Amino acid sequence: MKNCFYKMIAALCLFPALCACAFVSPAPPDTTSPSSATDGAPPAPPPPPPKSRAEILLSSMTDAQKIGQLLMVPFSGTELTPEIKAHFTENFFSNVILFSANIPDAETARALSKEIRELSEETCGMDAWIAVDQEGGRVVRIRDEMTVFPSAREIGKTGDPENAYDAGYSTATGLLALGINFNLAPVFDVDTNPKNPIIGDRAFSDDPETAAEFALQFAKGSEDGGTPACAKHFPGHGDTSVDSHKALPVLKHDLTRLERVELYPFRRAAEAGIDAVLAGHIACPALDDSGLPASLSKKMLTGLLREKFGFEGVILTDSMDMSAITESYSPEDAAVLAVGAGADMIIAPPDPEKQNRMRLALAEALKSGELSADRLNEAVGHILAMKEKYGLLH
């Protein structure tokens, strides 16, 4: 009897606890993912960044459209004739360079620029680069409605780099008012040879640091004013005794001298993130002993400018109509060598037939594998990225 009594007491003591357990809320489900629950597992990679407008456009372009971007073409006349329009349309040309004969006055410049940009939008689905050499001094393509500044040398003599900034900014805004959106300036050469037939007062100074500082300020003014700047003539045209329009100049200095003088401003330009660099038709045995001019040299354009200096913008060549090129290379060979070496855009000869030959040669080089698809995409990618930066892709 006593044992039964104790069992009943024990059951009564346990009853409240059993009831409490019955009303406890169930634990929430475990939502920990298998990867995060594993000790030491790496976090999931972040999603890729959204593609830029340039990347999206590049992925949709045909090879023919891409090759059309590689040529910056001059043409004759003050308007786009039906023949010129057909030529541009068939070749997908979207980048032009104008000279004084194309734009004798502001009204003509505005009308012609409008025509070019509308045709580019219609044919290529993007705005055109319309370039000029508007350095100031003796290198000026249009004066009407423009503030024309004195030569770079005269600006350099003021001792105040802000004057170079003002020149770059005012020139950019003046050009944009005429519909011109790319100034192939300033000169980054160092004026060390009084007998130089082509540079001289186009350079800001005979001192590398001064030349670099004034040129960089002009470039900054240009970019702040709305047009890309272009450092020329890589690797340095200041200490040559030959004009590349007439023959191939040769820089004979050793590497120590080149790094201290000629190359110094271009290294500064690359470090500053300048938009574009124009490669000159200049041989330099200390940089490439093959005899190739910089405009066709992979050692100089890719090895030095891209890889060593870290330049990420657009590399242009000087005009392929200069004797420094035409005396030794056909238009076809010059085009393929330049792009293969690392140039992104070639200033073509004014002859439409030679422009066609260049385009066809690039297409054939791509087909044969002499020009890789990666190099083509890289070149066009640089061009489109600069167009996107300045609002030319819509």
Q: Hey, which residues are catalytic here?
A: 245, 318
Closest CA to 178 of 140, 146, 147, 150: 146
Distance from C-alpha of 379 to C-alpha of 40, rounded to nearest angstrom = 42
Give the CA distances from residue 18 to residues 7, 14, 289, in Å, rounded to whole numbers and listed in that order.
16, 6, 94
Asked whether the beta carbons of 152 and 202 are under 8 A apart, the reply is yes
DSSP 99: -
Amino acid at 46: P
Instruction: Please give the structure tokens belonging to residue 42.
Output: 């790496």
Distance from C-alpha of 62 to C-alpha of 52, rounded to nearest angstrom = 18
Q: How far is CA 334 from the centre of its chain?
A: 20
- Number of Cβ within a 10 Å radius of residue 200: 19
Distance from C-alpha of 179 to C-alpha of 112, rounded to nearest angstrom = 8
Query: How open is the CA angle 333-338-340, to the nearest 5 degrees?
Result: 95
* E strand spans, the chain: 71-72, 95-97, 129-132, 182-183, 230-234, 276-279, 314-317, 346-347
Identify the helix (H) or strand (E) that includes residue 362.
helix 352-368
Side-chain-side CA neighbours of 28 within 13 Å: the count stands at: 3
Lookup result for tokens 């009564």 = 12
Asked whether the beta carbons of 205 and 218 are under 8 A apart, the reply is no
Asked whether the beta carbons of 335 and 320 are under 8 A apart, the reply is yes
Closest CA to 105 of 133, 142, 135: 142
Asked whether the beta carbons of 223 and 277 are under 8 A apart, the reply is no
DSSP string, 34-48: HHHHSTTPPPPPPPP
